[in-house]
Structure 1
Amino acid sequence: MSFGFLGIQFGFALQNANTSRIFETLGASVEDIPILWIAAPVTGLVVQPIIGYFSDKTWTKLGRRKPYFLIGAILSSICLFLMPNSPTLWIAAGTLWIMDASINISMEPFRAFVGDNLDEHQRTQGFAMQSFFIGLGAVLGSLLPYLFTNVFGISNTAAEGLIPDSVKWSFYVGGIVFISAVLWTVFNSKEYSPEELAAIEAKDKEKEPQRVEVVDKSKNIAKQMRVGFFMLLLGAIVTYLIFINGLTKELYILFVGLIIAGLLFISVALLRKRNVRNGYTIIITDMLNMPLAMKQLAWVQFFSWFALFSMWIYTTQAVTGHVFNTFDPKSQAYNDAADWVPVMFAVYNGVAAAVSFLLPVLAKRTSNKITHMLALFFGGLGLISVYFLSDKTGLLLAMVGVGIAWASILSIPYAMLSNSLPSSKMGYYMGIFNFFVVLPQIVAATILGFIVKEFFNNEPVYALIVGGFAMILSGLLTLRVKTKHKIVIDENQN
């Protein structure tokens, strides 16, 4: 059931470890790299809730979630072949956009797949199994450029503006592994039909009745209107301040996006006043009516993924510049240092795979909250320690802490969340939950370049320090999550 994640993460690891290198090779400056990443998470905001909503309502001969696994895998594999052959920077950025959207099409239903097929007591272990395959796939994907150069003798340098052959062949292998692993899951796993899931949920309710809160429709619409106007007003004010002060243009993306979100809330509130009910109004309204546990976990996800995104964007530049003091992408020293970054990423993913089965054991002895908090503390300290390191071995040790956090980030929050969701909306709410994976990426991409430039003299290692403190904060926020709180909104009130 989880094997397909090996292929997904194989491709995702290649993207994370090599995209900044590809951008820089094609002429991007350090301060421009975050904004080139922005298209990917923006696409995720659109793709994830839509895929989740429709996968909840899909039932074909192939299954409920599996058609989306397959479509996403085909598109992602094609993009993995195209990405390292990008002739220009804008084509590479566009390919990243399409590839990230395609990976999301495959990845998002996998979370709901585990929630569908496992009961409350099995889910922590189920998501830990996903973490294992994610870690294993990421280790193999991250190591490929290094292995191709140091084992098979394929060059890791190329003429100016060209991607090294070691990177190209890594992406080709990634495309094959991606589609193969997903096909294995598609043809070797089963799904419960919507009717079977409804029957299982009905039995669960008999054993442990849920607290049902019927929302007053008129009050809910008024709240939606207020939230919409607040987002619209805040977005408009900050956008104006950015304009009159001549601040970096990347900031427009975040706050113009807030304006758009406000307009969506207002438009749906107006439609609901006219008793219009369709996929659009349900998707936007259910964002407002998220379960309390989901709202609390959103803050945990936000700061932990902000930290991860700072690492994925800036590790190459921090390692090559701060640790090894080399800045020329055409030089052998730079490419040797850059090749060490995938090795570092392989280590943290390997650690994640190794500890993934220990987390449920620790959670059983303590709790999911304590386990996640401790893991995030290790991750934050690992990121901060990069500033003080000066050799390859030390960098690998720093990644051990990140790996412990990564294993927990990939499993514990989803286990905590899935126990608070109705099966009929598992895919949709898992998609919305991924907003809080995507939003911090957008925030990181819009403000990290500005912060590094304005406050840290364009020294990328400070972005890792900021990320480390964000991860520690997310650990503290885990303690306030009320996992037992359960609300089911009467759909007729939507």
Structure 2
Amino acid sequence: MDKPRQGFAGLWNISFGFFGIQIGFALQNANMSRIFQSLGEDIEKLPGLWVAAPLTGLLVQPIIGHMSDRTWLGRLGRRRPYFLAGAILAAIALFVMPESPAIWFAAMMLWLLDASLNISMEPFRAFVGDMLGKDQHSVGYAVQTAFIGAGAVVGSLFPSLMEAMGVANVAPPGQIPDTVRYAFWFGGLALFLAVLWTVVATREYSPEQMAAFEPPAAANAPAVRPLASHGYAVSVGWVAAGIAVALVQMRFALLREVLLLGALLAGYGLASALAITLARRGNDRNMLSSIVGDFAGMPVLMKRLALVQFFSWSALFIMWINTTPIVAQYHYGATDAASAAYQDASNWVGELFAIYNGVAAVAALTLLPWLSRRLGQARTHMVGLACGAIGYASFFLLRDPAHLIASEIFIGIFWASVLAMPYAILASSLPQAKLGIYMGLFNMFVVLPQLLVATVMGSIMQALFPGEPIYTMAFAAVTLLLAVLAMTRVAAVQPAGALS
């Protein structure tokens, strides 16, 4: 039995909550470096403070994906409990963040905010697959991408709108401007109301209905069973890699955040060894073995797309961390975070981010379908990745702040492609009973590169280009060229017309 087709209202209701979630992400992405610098932090230490975002995503997304696949709370359903819980916590973090008295408190609020946004976001990816038939997966993710872009526009423009209304955009040293404070407060309210809309306006299919749509098959059996036959060599390799990273950090006196990367590698090795041991003892119902087993048993297509995601999100995270100090230093001539010029540059960055997100919202519903019908999904995504590389490289050439609008147009096309094409390619190839956990695992390759950037980029820049953040854009452009090469190995499930 096929799932009923959704009309415009249904597609709207399914993804409208993502509009609010992306307001929260946009406020975080465009303003956290500004907040940290306003509280007195140095440029070179910003990546270490940003480590909260990818680390919480890395831990939260597979866990929430695993749990939401197994949740059913009556009228509240399967995914919507996580939408609601995450929205409440994220709204609290947004209200408290601009009142941070010190850097350590702002970092704690970033942990809470990012964890909460991930609690809501991860099930939204699976929600499209739950509610739509395979023939509507692509249009569902396109609509979701449009809401992501629209929400990011609103979140990015909040501080500038506050300034236009007469709110003070400059604060004494060590304090956060009122424009940012009010933007976070309004953003928290908008996030909660948008997610509440989806919670109230949708009703999920019951487990019995889902089983009728897609009867259980051998492909949907827990991946923990083959895990019992695995040896421990791979686990030992992960632990050894973690120890090697720690030794390199100590040998070359790299930033201490690099130790976190080593700890995570070693921690996964130990966790995988424990998961194998539990599986060998016949305990095939525990979360750890299920997650590790599903990770080890990812489909080939998913693995190839994961590599593309790794490179793509490395570039994005570099941009989010460094755009504010780059534009302030190279386009406004400002390095003092308390100066009016720096705050003007920060507001312009918010507007630039709004531009690329607005371009993404339009491209998701217009350009990508047109390209997909003519080139196929894989080649369309290659075009999007190449646009991102052009956009990042252009920061070296354009000195007038207004000319950066051209850069953001290219970046917006790239952003639309990242948000829509990989999920459209992947969704129809995954077993629906495991859509949550597989989307959670796939999104690990969104947060892993961010964690790598947060822990390593600071040391690279400190060693090679101290005080010259513009060179991070070169790293971003090169990683996107690597993503284009990786995409050549991806065979799309529906090579043409999937987004039409």
What is the correspondence of 1:431-450 to structure 2 with a 5 Å cutoff? 431-450=440-459
After TM superposition, give the deviation of residue 451 of structure 1 in Å: 1.4
Superposed CA deviations along residues 24-53 of structure 1, whole A, max 9, x for unmatched, are: 011110111000010221111111111111
Deviations 1:56-85 (A, max 9, x none): 111122111011100000110011001111
Q: Does residue 190 of the first structure (1) align with residue 198 of the second (2)? A: no
Q: What pairs up with 1:174-213 in 2 under 5 angstroms? A: 174-202=187-215
Partner of 1:318: 326
* 1:356 partner SS: helix
- 2-structure distance, mates of 1:382, 1:97: 30
Contact 2:255/2:458, CA 8 A, preserved across alignment = no
- Equivalences, count: 478
SS in 1 for 2:72: coil
Which of the numbers 267, 291, 300 marks the counterpart of 1:292? 300
AA at the equivalent of 1:425 = K
Instruction: Spell out the pairing of 1:142-291 with structure 2 (5 A cutoff).
Output: 142-149=156-163, 151-202=164-215, 220-223=227-230, 225-277=232-284, 278-291=286-299
TM alignment of 1:73-84, pairs within 5 A: 73-84=87-98
Residue number in structure 2 paired with 1:141? 155
- The two structures have a TM-score, normalised by structure 1, of 0.93
Q: Aligned AA for 2:397?
A: F
Q: TM-score, normalised by structure 2?
A: 0.92
Q: 1:357 aligns to what?
A: 365
SS of 2:232's partner is helix
1:411 to 407, 420, 423: 420
Q: By how many angstroms is 1:213 displaced?
A: 11
Tell me the equivalent position of 1:426.
Answer: 435
Gaps of 5+ in 1: 486-494
* Partner residue of 1:45 out of 49, 58, 77: 58
Q: Name the counterpart of 1:402.
A: 411
Per-residue CA deviations over 1:307-350 (Å, capped at 9, x if unaligned) read: 00000000001000122221111111111112100000000000
Would the aligned equivalents of 1:124 and 1:360 in 2 still touch at CA under 8 Å?
no
- Assess, with a 3 A threshold, how the Cα gap between structure 1 residues 274 and 141 changes in structure 2: closer, same or farther: same
Q: 1:135 to 1:233 in 2, by over 3 A?
A: same
Aligned equivalent of 1:127? 141
Match of 2:6 in 1: none
Deviations 1:157-215 (A, max 9, x none): 01111100011110011011000000111111121122212221239x8xxxx989998
Matched, 1:67 2:75: no
Structure 1 residues 212 and 147: CA distance shift in structure 2, 3 A: closer
Aligned counterparts of 1:111 and 1:18: Cα–Cα separation in 2: 25
* Partners of 1:255 and 1:402 in 2: CA distance: 32
Q: Does 2:315 align with 1:302? A: no
Structure 1 residue 355: Cα displacement? 0.7
In 2, Cα distance between equivalents of 1:158 and 1:213: 57
Question: What amino acid is the match of 1:238?
Answer: V
Preserved CA contact (<8 Å) 2:363 2:416: yes
Contact 1:146–1:342 (CA<8 Å) still a contact in 2? yes
Query: In the aligned structure 2, how far is the partner of 1:75 from the partner of 1:255?
Result: 30
Deviation at 1:302, TM superposition (A): 0.5
Cα separation, partners in 2 of 1:224 and 1:156, compared to 1, 3 Å: farther
1:118-166 deviation per Cα after TM superposition (whole angstroms, max 9, x unaligned): 22221111101001011011101101111111x2011110111110001
Per the alignment, residue 18 of structure 2 pairs with 5
User: Identity of counterpart residues, as a percentage?
Assistant: 47
Which stretch shows the higher mean deviation, 301-310 or 120-129?
120-129
Secondary structure of 1:458 counterpart: coil
Distance (Å, rounded) in 1 between the aligned partners of 2:237 and 2:228: 14
* In structure 1, distance between residues paired with 2:198 and 2:112: 23
Structure 1 contact 382–401 (Cα < 8 Å) conserved: yes
Partners of 2:245 and 2:258 within 8 A in 1: no
Task: Return the alpha-carbon distance in structure 1 between the equivalents of residues 93 and 188 of structure 2.
Answer: 8
What whole-Å deviation, never above 9, does each CA across 1:338-392 have from its counterpart, x for those lacking one? Answer: 2100000000000001111121332133211011110110011101111111112
State the alpha-carbon separation in 2 of the partners of residues 146 and 224 from structure 1: 56
Contact 1:324 1:390 in 2 (8 A): no
Could you list the structure 1 runs, at least 4 aligned residues long, displaced by more than 4 angstroms after superposition: 210-218
From 344, 349, 371, the equivalent of 2:352 is 344
Question: CA-to-partner distance for each residue in 1:450-473, whole Å, 9 max, x for gaps?
Answer: 111111232111111211221222
In 1, distance between residues paired with 2:252 and 2:401?
42
Distance 1:315 1:32, change over 3 A: same
Q: 1:111 aligns with which of 125, 146, 164?
A: 125
Whether the aligned pair in 1 keeps the contact of 2:53 and 2:110 (CA below 8 Å) is: yes
RMSD after superposition: 1.9
Work out whether residues 122 and 439 of structure 2, in 8 Å CA contact, stay in contact via their aligned partners in 1. Answer: yes
Q: Unaligned stretches of 5+ in structure 2?
A: 1-13, 495-500
Name the CA shift for 1:211/1:57 in 2 (closer, same or farther; >3 Å).
closer
Q: Which of 73, 96, 105 is equivalent to 1:91?
A: 105
Between stretches 223-232 and 364-373, larger displacement belongs to 223-232
Partner of 1:331: 339
